[in-house]
Structure 1
């Protein structure tokens, strides 16, 4: 288990405070990792949001307002948490939530959906303010949480392999550059080199084709909210479960896997406030983001985990710029080959996945069967009541460990160790 790194807001003795440490945190590794997280968050996820907006027959101005809300507020969350707590905590929005909205907006008027966005933010805020999420996070067995993280993030690894298969020149050479850099040039961020090499190959092959997107430089148009029970149960409840059970849980687990002590309740409160403000601006929940936090907290952001918050700071600043100029930025971002984005994201996840597997299934892991169940459920496409697999992975893993007596045995062992 790596040494725990508390948030700087709770431990004034940490050396990474002040102007000089902030400068140290903005180095080539954190900057390149922040750019990778931004590219990941501004490509495929942006398409999902635009598809949802199209299914709801939103105007271009409403779509720009949606993108403005989630990227500017998500980026603001990253900047605030990075500077306040000196931890690599990134904000964005729930990507699965945007996906389920593509179906919901076909039958629910957008003004009622906006009301549901606000209601979801209120529920998340209430859960964070109650302290319940923090107590639950400390109660959950670490191996089961780590197994859920490994299962939820494993799609990045398989996505990287699929990208190499589908685009061997772009993705394959980028992956080769990553591993060669790690072997030969230890002072240079491998992710940065892989991205630049892949981009160069894509330019050489003529694979940077601007995507035809109907958005232009238009002013956002905000929608007055309306409230209905149909929208509440179809949108607000699933979004709340996704923010808590998928995004926040994944981010908290990743941070724990990297040795940090995340401010769980404050992360949940921020996700609730972000959800309310995003709803008022016409977008769904802006919250702590699992995938972007995983990228920014990984070893690709540098060997010193105390400086990795610089990656989230860069990620947040770029997200805010993207949101401010969404109407102009989308076509250029979408011109990047999807295979290149996927392989870079997968390579950035290697350290996180290795750490999660080691903590979940190490020799002294007390809940290996429960962790295995959590892993398999998180890797599946299982969904129930509009909630995706990471949440159910935690539930099923804990249930199996309780049934087999793994949790009680682990607690008895810890009590004996403390007694001696």
Structure 2
């Protein structure tokens, strides 16, 4: 234990701490506002909203810490951002107890897919270009939000982007997004643009719910949520890790994501699973050139996430005080690498291009059928289109799913 602790301490440096902090800043601002806004639109009380935040951040943070220390890989835990969008739209259709039941069932589905080892086959069957097209479509609003923020507040948002670009060009020690964020916060403070509301800041205990099970809620929420956890978050995180040369424990990641979903359901949280964007940030070169030590950035991120969840009632008013234009700009800047990498993965190959395109535009459309939002339909539509007009791309198992499936099989066999 002492040896492990010393090994971890050696990996704590400006790069790992900055990358972990950056991932936490991203996760605790824009995505948190999705939950806060979704809770308000769904008619949840302040206490219920705080409980939701506690569940996904506290248990998501613990999940990342465990996996990072156990496997020495930058596997971050949080929650599904597209999943938050999905369930936010369904809150007005079902009671919170029914939603909790749907979250629990989604966790069971993910857990079964991991424990039965079928997840490897599913991950290899879903073409990466379609998954990445969906991710871009679902998250492109972070990029466009950065541009619209400049239109709304040219000085604040423009300064954030300008400092980021200058930092990329001239500053090599501190991650540019971190420099951009802190300079922007100072500018906001000077301009007195913090938007504090009459909202009490106090410690609030999370509320425990007893899930009730509704067939309609299970069909509308559980199935698409489970699919998003696997097809978006786990798929993206696994692809990112393998692209960086890691051998992620695929089945273990899936099993723990399922357990996380079941646990958070009792607090009104939609899931706690492997986080695609945060894993991408912590596994990138911003976490240091030494790939063996990048897992330390996930531990930093997990600690900050768990603290945010525990103290949500206290810190949420400060998070909501940040001008939305600043949050939108920072979120867009933080997503640049994720969006660029996803676009490259979606359209760099000649296979599944039409399916990936349909996944992209369906994800961007924001459509919703049967209370199921666009990320799910983007995956379904993309796969359907490719099966219809690109069936030959599915014929060779080594040409679909993740690249180098032999590595995937090796990772699965090591964690069986």
**TM class by smaller structure:** 0.7 to 0.9
What's the C-alpha RMSD, in Å, of the aligned pairs? 3.1
> 1:40-73: per-residue Cα shift (whole Å, max 9, x none)?
3223433443444445655544443332222111
Which stretch of the first structure deviates more once superposed, 58-67 or 329-338? 58-67
Superposition pairs of residues 49-68 of structure 1, within 5 angstroms:
49-54=35-40, 58-68=44-54
2:365 matches 1:380: yes
The residue number in structure 2 matching 1:350 is: 336
SS at match of 1:334: helix
Cα displacement string for residues 288-318 of structure 1 (whole angstroms, at most 9, x for unaligned residues): 2233333333443334444333332222111
Q: 1:196 matched to which residue of 2?
A: 182
Deviation at 1:113, TM superposition (A): 2.9
Q: After superposition, what is the alpha-carbon deviation per residue over 1:359-415, rounded to whole angstroms, capped at 9, x for unaligned?
A: 4433x644444443433334332444444444444444444444335516876999x
Displacement after TM superposition at 1:194 (Å): 1.1
Matching of residues 91-102 of structure 1 within 5 Å: 91-102=77-88
Task: Please report the TM-score for the alignment, with normalisation by the length of structure 2.
Answer: 0.82
Alpha-carbon contact 1:294-1:349 (below 8 Å) kept: no
Matched residue SS, 2:309: helix
- C-alpha separation between the residues in 1 aligned to 2:295 and 2:356? 29
* Preserved CA contact (<8 Å) 1:297 1:308: yes
- What displacement does 1:331 show? 0.6
> Are 1:330 and 2:316 an aligned pair?
yes
**Residues 1-400 of structure 1: pairs in structure 2 closer than 5 A:** 18-19=4-5, 22-54=8-40, 58-102=44-88, 104-214=90-200, 216-362=202-348, 365-400=350-385
Q: 1:392 to 1:210 in 2, by over 3 A?
A: same
Structure 1 spans left out of the alignment, 5+ residues: 1-16, 415-420
Distance 1:147 1:257 in 2: 17
Q: Separation in 2 of the partners of 1:228 and 1:185?
A: 54
* CA 1:381–1:69: 2 relative to 1, 3 Å: same
**Cα deviations across residues 329-376 of structure 1 (Å, max 9, x unaligned)?**
1111222222223322322333333333334433x6444444434333
Q: Find the aligned partners of 1:242 and 1:299 in 2 and give their Cα distance.
A: 27
Task: Return 124-133 or 146-155, whichever deviates more.
Answer: 146-155
Deviations 1:248-267 (A, max 9, x none): 33433444454544333222
Return the alpha-carbon distance in structure 1 between the equivalents of residues 310 and 339 of structure 2: 33
CA contact (8 A) 2:72 2:292 kept: yes
Verify the 8 A CA contact 1:258 1:355 in the aligned structure 2: no
SS at match of 2:333: helix
C-alpha contact (below 8 Å) 1:37/1:292 kept by paired residues:
yes
**What is the match of residue 8 of structure 1?**
none
In structure 2, list runs of 5 or more residues that go unmatched.
401-416
How far 1:320 moved relative to its partner? 0.6
CA contact (8 A) 2:237 2:274 kept: yes
Normalising by structure 1, report the TM-score: 0.82
SS in 2 for 1:281: coil
Farther off after superposition, 26-35 or 66-75 = 26-35
Retained in 2: the 8 A contact 1:191–1:344? yes
Cα drift, residue 324 of structure 1: 1.0
SS in 1 for 2:78: strand
Preserved contact between residue 34 and residue 85 of structure 2 (Cα < 8 Å): yes
Structure 1, residues 223-279: CA drift from partner, whole Å, max 9, x if none? Answer: 233333344334433432332333333433444454544333222211110111112
Distance 1:211 1:78, change over 3 A: farther
SS of 2:273 mapped into structure 1: strand
State the distance in 2 between where 1:155 and 1:22 align. Answer: 36
